[in-house]
Structure 1
Amino acid sequence: MIFYVEIEDEEPGKETSVPGDLCREFGFDPEKVAYAVGEKTLLLLNKPTNVEVNLKITGDEGIRQCNLLYRQIDSPTDVLSFPGFELQSPEEFDDAWERYAEECTNPESGNILLGDIMINARRVKSQAEEYGHSEKREFAFLVAHSMLHLLGYDHGTEEEGERMEKLQESVLRALGITRDS
Structure 2
Amino acid sequence: MSLMIDFIDETNEVSESDIKTIEQLLQFAAKKQEVDEESEVSITFVTNDRIQEINKEYRQKDYATDVISFAMEEMGEGEMELLGVDMPRVLGDIIISTAKANEQAEEYGHSYLRELGFLTVHGFLHLLGYDHETEEDEKVMFARQREILDEFGLQR
Q: Normalising TM by the smaller chain, what interval?
A: 0.7 to 0.9
Residue 65 (1) aligns with residue 42 (2): no
- In structure 2, C-alpha distance between the alignment counterparts of 1:67 and 1:101, rounded to whole Å: 34
Q: Which of 16, 24, 38 is equivalent to 2:26? A: 38
Q: Identify the residue that residue 161 of structure 1 maps to in structure 2.
A: 138
Structure 1: gaps spanning 5 or more residues: 10-19, 88-97, 106-110
| Structure 2: unaligned runs, 5 residues or longer | 76-80
Q: 1:128·1:135 contact (CA, 8 Å) conserved in 2? A: yes
Match of 1:146 among 103, 123, 134: 123
* 2-structure distance, mates of 1:57, 1:101: 34
Matched length: 149
Q: Which residue of 2 aligns with 1:53?
A: 41
TM-score by length of 1: 0.76
**TM-aligned CA distance change 1:77 to 1:100, over 3 Å:** farther
Match of 1:133 among 110, 115, 119: 110
1:105-125: per-residue Cα shift (whole Å, max 9, x none)?
Answer: 3xxxxx321100000000110
- Runs of 4+ displaced beyond 2 Å: 28-31, 98-103
Structure-2 residue corresponding to 1:5: 7
Letter in 2 for 1:157: T
Taking the aligned partners of 1:68 and 1:29, their CA distance within structure 2 comes to 31
Tell me the residue number matched to 1:102: 85
The answer to whether residue 66 in structure 2 is matched with residue 78 in structure 1 is: yes
2:78 maps to which residue?
none
1:114-162 Cα shifts (integer Å, max 9, x gaps): 1000000001100000001011110000111011000000000011111
- Percent identical among aligned pairs is 34
The one of 2, 14, 23 equivalent to 1:23 is 14
Q: 1:176 to 1:85 in 2, by over 3 A?
A: same
What do you get for the CA RMSD once the two structures are aligned?
2.0
Amino acid at match of 2:123: S
Which amino acid in structure 1 is aligned with residue 27 of structure 2?
E
Contact 2:44 2:94 in 1 (8 A): yes
Report the alpha carbon displacement of residue 46 of structure 1 after superposing the two structures with TM. Answer: 2.1
- Secondary structure, in 3 states, of the residue corresponding to 1:3? strand
